[in-house]
């Protein structure tokens, strides 16, 4: 081991030891300047264009749901390429893979045009290669901050795990938000992280998700949420963390030299013969949204979000906002139907009582989540599995998406990509009486309730709610999902489950939970014994 590397490791371990009981992460005392969103978005061409679009819809905001994974990537890159003055990005995961590098290149091009860029990322799921985003901070027009970072800046899973173990009280708290705002005039908010699999472009893993493209007055509210997180003491500037990585104490001032990094040539990305560089150059679908070829839906809506200090709000030690109680109250108020789409579904007693109350009023409650076969996290599935019988007994309709879809309608990807059999659900959608729709980053689990900050928009639009419900209907067809039912049993026996689906045109039933590997079933049963439901 080189001397410098050894010193860096020792310094990281030293910081980990000293910072253990502190409420703030390493680098929190690094002096930084507060900043806010662009005050006058109408001074940009994009802002003026959006103002023209909204002139016939006073007081309303315009929306278009982006359900196709590839379109989620294209729209982001194309939006970045139109920015004139400001770009604000906030993501839980920002992978350093092909799509991440393409977006980094777009950000550098924007910086070369003089656009001020603020990029805030969480550190909970960082892996080797993701550190490329930190290098963007070297450009004088780009600032990168990391929410609640680890002190150890390397990629040893052992050392990272040890720090998490000893600093669990702090590091368990994560920023799960996903938001992009351009010139304070256009925004994208939803459930997608940055990475090939989140844009459904990776044959080995596809995470189906949704964003909503937003214009109008709601954008300024989304920007205000970003500003609140950006200026939070938990958002640590990249230079403070770079000092840790180099094995020296972080500096105390924001004064630092920045070298001008030029944007690289446009990379190429091809999947199944599709050249996404050409697709980017076409300008679609973004150009269609601004031109009216892809019409926006204008409606009243509100931003629902957690405060950066959510943990203190939950404990009652500080004032602030909480997202989940507002979504729960909207669910409690439904009269005919509640639809929930969530990759992680861990309902405890309070949620079971909510569903029982709705069913007592003959409200139809329908849920689409991941099957064990499609689950990306066995631990999360272990928190859900024990509640399935209780949910079915209360009349909740449960569907679990298959990893191999029979047809791709509503899935967000092509039949070719679906044929790899690596499909998984990642969307977070809530439909209330097919009149209102919530779309955002919030899963229906205890982690989103207590331990992650979340953001989303509640839209009063029967049209968008109905469109989303129709996609739900397509994905819950037995060709694409397992329909769960209770198996007849003798009195005194624990209720068994049946997984019903259609294969080769015929309805079939499974009495054992479908899984990619047999040991997954055993692992889920073992994990379910752990007393960690509040962490899931």
Residues marked as catalytic: 176, 178, 183, 426, 428, 433
Residue 73 contacts residue 276 (beta carbons within 8 Å): yes
* Distance separating alpha carbons of residues 120 and 13, to the nearest angstrom: 25
**Three-state SS at 447:** helix
C-alpha distance from residue 1 to each of 105, 249, 445 (Å): 34, 21, 43
* Distance separating alpha carbons of residues 283 and 200, to the nearest angstrom: 19
C-alpha distance from residue 33 to each of 149, 235, 255, 407 (Å): 19, 12, 10, 51
> Cα torsion at 144, 146, 151, 153 (round to 10°)?
-60
Length of the chain: 536
Q: Using alpha carbons, select from 82, 103, 76 the residue that is nearest to residue 179.
A: 76
Q: Using alpha carbons, select from 339, 332, 347 the residue that is nearest to residue 444.
A: 347
Question: Please, what's the b/e burial string for 200-234 (b: 16 or more CB within 10 A of its CB; e: otherwise)?
Answer: bbbbebbbbbbbbbbbbebbbbbbebbbbbbebeb
Q: Using alpha carbons, select from 188, 183, 223, 222 the residue that is nearest to residue 50.
A: 183
Half-sphere exposure of residue 347, counting CA atoms within 13 Å on the CB side? Answer: 22
**Three-state SS at 163:** helix
Q: Which helix (H) or strand (E) holds 66?
A: strand 61-66
* Distance separating alpha carbons of residues 57 and 51, to the nearest angstrom: 10
* Distance separating alpha carbons of residues 519 and 114, to the nearest angstrom: 54
C-alpha distance from residue 201 to each of 69, 276, 417 (Å): 7, 10, 8
Residue 378: partners with Cβ closer than 8 Å, 6 or more residues away? 372, 520, 523, 524, 527
Structure tokens at 231: 């200026």
* Distance separating alpha carbons of residues 414 and 51, to the nearest angstrom: 35
Residue 366: partners with Cβ closer than 8 Å, 6 or more residues away? 337, 338, 339, 340, 396, 397, 399, 472, 476
* Distance separating alpha carbons of residues 205 and 260, to the nearest angstrom: 36
Residue 175 contacts residue 452 (beta carbons within 8 Å): yes
């Amino acid at each position: 081991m080189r001397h410098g590397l050894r010193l860096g490791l020792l310094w990281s371990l030293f910081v980990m030891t000293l910072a253990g009981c502190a409420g703030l992460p390493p680098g929190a005392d690094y002096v930084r300047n507060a900043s806010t969103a662009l005050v006058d978005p109408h001074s940009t061409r994009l802002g003026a264009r959006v103002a023209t679009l909204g002139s016939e819809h006073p007081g309303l905001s315009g929306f278009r749901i982006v359900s196709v994974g590839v379109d989620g990537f294209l729209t982001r890159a194309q939006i970045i390429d139109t920015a004139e003055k400001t770009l604000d990005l906030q993501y839980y995961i920002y992978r350093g893979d092909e799509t991440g590098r393409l977006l980094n290149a777009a950000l550098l091009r924007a910086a070369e045009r003089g656009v001020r860029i603020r990029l805030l990322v969480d550190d909970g799921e960082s892996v080797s290669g993701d550190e490329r985003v930190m290098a963007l901070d070297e450009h004088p027009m780009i600032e990168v901050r990391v929410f609640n970072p680890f002190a150890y800046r390397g990629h040893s899973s052992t050392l990272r795990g040890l720090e998490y173990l000893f600093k669990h009280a702090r590091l368990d708290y994560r920023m799960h938000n996903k938001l992009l705002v351009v010139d304070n005039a256009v925004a994208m908010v939803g459930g997608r992280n940055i990475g090939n699999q989140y844009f459904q472009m990776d044959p080995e893993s596809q995470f189906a998700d949704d964003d909503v493209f937003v214009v109008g007055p709601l954008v300024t509210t989304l920007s205000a949420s970003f500003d609140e997180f950006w200026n939070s003491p938990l958002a640590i500037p990249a230079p403070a963390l770079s000092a840790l990585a180099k094995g020296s104490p972080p500096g105390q001032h924001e004064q630092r030299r920045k070298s001008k990094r030029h944007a690289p040539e446009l990379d190429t990305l091809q999947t199944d013969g599709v050249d996404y560089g050409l697709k980017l150059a076409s300008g679609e679908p973004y150009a269609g949204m601004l031109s009216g070829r892809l019409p926006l839906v204008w409606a009243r809506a509100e931003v629902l979000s957690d405060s950066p200090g959510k943990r203190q709000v939950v404990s009652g030690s500080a004032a602030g906002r909480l997202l989940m109680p507002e979504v729960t109250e909207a669910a409690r108020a439904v009269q005919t139907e509640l639809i929930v789409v969530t990759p992680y579904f861990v309902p405890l007693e309070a949620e079971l009582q909510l569903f029982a109350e709705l069913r007592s009023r003959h409200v139809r409650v329908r849920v689409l989540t991941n099957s064990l076969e499609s689950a990306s996290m066995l631990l999360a599935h272990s928190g859900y599995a024990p509640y399935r019988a209780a949910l079915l007994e209360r009349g909740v309709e449960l569907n679990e998406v298959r990893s191999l879809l029979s047809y791709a309608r509503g899935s967000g990807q092509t039949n070719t990509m679906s044929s790899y059999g690596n499909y998984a659900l990642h969307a977070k959608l809530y439909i209330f009486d097919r009149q209102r729709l919530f779309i955002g980053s919030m899963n229906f689990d205890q982690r989103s309730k207590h331990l992650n900050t979340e953001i989303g928009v509640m839209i009063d639009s029967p049209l968008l709610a109905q469109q989303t419900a129709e996609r739900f209907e397509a994905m819950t067809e037995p060709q694409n999902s397992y329909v769960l039912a209770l198996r007849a049993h003798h009195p005194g026996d624990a209720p068994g489950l049946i997984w019903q689906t259609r294969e080769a045109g015929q309805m079939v039933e499974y009495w054992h939970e479908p899984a990619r590997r047999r040991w997954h079933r055993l692992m889920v049963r073992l994990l379910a014994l752990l007393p960690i439901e509040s962490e899931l």
